[in-house]
Structure 1
Amino acid sequence: MYDLHTHTILSDGELLPTELVRRAAVLGYETLAVTDHADASNLAHLVEAVGEVRDAARCYGVDLLVGVELTHVPPTLIPALARDAKRRGADIVVVHGETVVEPVAPGTNRAACTCEDVDVLAHPGLVTEEDAREAATRGIALEITSRGGHNRTNGHVVRVAREAGCRLVVDSDTHAPSDLMSKEARWAVACGAGLTGAESREVLSWDIKRLLQK
């Protein structure tokens, strides 16, 4: 199991990174990305701080991915910040997409889907097929999320991703302990979003290291 979108006390989550890793390990997760909210003010700190937890994650049998979620960053600044995150050692860059429940700047989805250094577009709302095709050409995954509010458009995201041939991932956008999903909950979110059984099995069992090798 994997989760590529989680938060800790380094931004607006409730858990220390190590406690988050431990709780994920108990649920059976093999790969966990810590992707706290980032902009130019804290990106460097987040990458360095999460990197300090790698040894603890190994002790618990979890492959920890150091990441950030670029959040409410002006679209024109996304490429430079994503590139900076990777330069500083981030394994994964997530962009806070144009969810229908927050005032995300128009053009954010487009900026993310056309950026080589972005790996996942989180809760992309009413993402267009054109943007999804751009993401597909760059190996950028669109997110199906269990997070309340953000998950209103999961069905639309699945439909558009199918048409565009774009990868999908299932994430929790965890902020609190109860947000982490069990294996059964992940399956329910995937199928509830409109994926077939075969599609759900594929999406839920990605080899994440290969997924990130774009």
Structure 2
Amino acid sequence: MKKVYDFHTHTLLSDGALICSEQIRHAQINNYGAIAITDHVDASNIDFILNSLNKFIDTEKKYFKNIEIIPGVEVTHVPPVIINDIARYAKEKGAKIVVVHGETIVEPVYEGTNHYAVRSKYVDILAHPGIISEEDVKEAASNGVFLELSARNGHSLSNGHVCKLAKKFGVKLLVNSDAHEPDDFLNYEFAFKIAISCGVEYEEAIEILEKNPELLLKRCY
């Protein structure tokens, strides 16, 4: 059975439903090979989130077999001009993956968030970037920022647009769950359907689900 790689999930540390141990157990049940816990952060809670997450990983990670647990954050709704500073601070405090909450069409995200996110060397993934511009997709390609195809209701509405521009300019794509609830976790079959529904071919879907995660994991460690 093929493994799932999911780099965008949330726990009770922010607005998710599960504590970290539950999060990882659900991931195991769904045959995850790797999961990033990326709770929402701004300047007010970034230390609490990362201190709590790193304590969990230091204490319990060794007991969860056959799954890579990656500490991360999702920089969310911050003024765009401080995205780079928050992302840099997150990496200094132990985040292996920095996700930025992109300009999804279903939330009032600051205009300019996509612009600043794809230009930061500390940002790994721009999540659900909505109607992202060609200019920003080009910058993502230049700077090695992955773009997300979201499995989450609402956020997924712009997946086709994101996929089209990513293919045009050579940006690496990932399928992520943005899981907040137990029913949000992916399995490989559903993740594959998300990729195919965006208009990619079979081999491209395999690359998105298997090869691109390997590239990101190598960056983390």
The TM-score by the shorter chain falls in which range? over 0.9
Identity %: 44
What CA distance in whole angstroms lies between the structure 2 residues aligned with 1:47 and 1:15? 16
Partner of 2:19: 16
Q: Is contact 1:18–1:57 with CA below 8 Å preserved after alignment? A: no
Q: How does 1:1-214 map to 2 (within 5 A)?
A: 1-54=4-57, 55-61=59-65, 62-206=67-211, 208=213, 210-211=215-216, 213=219
What CA distance in whole angstroms lies between the structure 2 residues aligned with 1:44 and 1:204? 31
What CA distance in whole angstroms lies between the structure 2 residues aligned with 1:188 and 1:59? 32
Q: CA RMSD in A?
A: 1.3
The SS at the match of 2:26 is helix
Q: Is contact 1:21–1:57 with CA below 8 Å preserved after alignment? A: no
Per-residue deviation at 1:137? 1.2
What CA distance in whole angstroms lies between the structure 2 residues aligned with 1:5 and 1:176? 13
What CA distance in whole angstroms lies between the structure 2 residues aligned with 1:135 and 1:155? 17
Cα distance per residue 1:9-50 (max 9 Å; x no partner):
001000001111111011110110000010000111111111
Cα distance 1:13–1:172, how it changes in 2: closer, same or farther (>3 A)? same
Per-residue deviation at 1:129? 1.4
Q: Normalised by the size of structure 1, how large is the TM-score?
A: 0.96
Stretches of structure 1 lacking an aligned partner (at least 5 in a row): none
What CA distance in whole angstroms lies between the structure 1 residues aligned with 2:194 and 2:83? 29
Cα distance per residue 1:127-159 (max 9 Å; x no partner):
111101111111110000010000000000000
Cα distance 1:30–1:58, how it changes in 2: closer, same or farther (>3 A)? farther
Per-residue deviation at 1:192? 1.1
The SS at the match of 1:90 is coil
Q: Is contact 2:141–2:170 with CA below 8 Å preserved after alignment? A: yes
Q: Is contact 2:144–2:171 with CA below 8 Å preserved after alignment? A: yes
Q: Is contact 2:172–2:212 with CA below 8 Å preserved after alignment? A: no
Letter of the aligned partner of 1:97 in structure 2?
A: G
The SS at the match of 2:60 is helix
Letter of the aligned partner of 2:64 in structure 1?
A: Y
What CA distance in whole angstroms lies between the structure 1 residues aligned with 2:198 and 2:38? 23
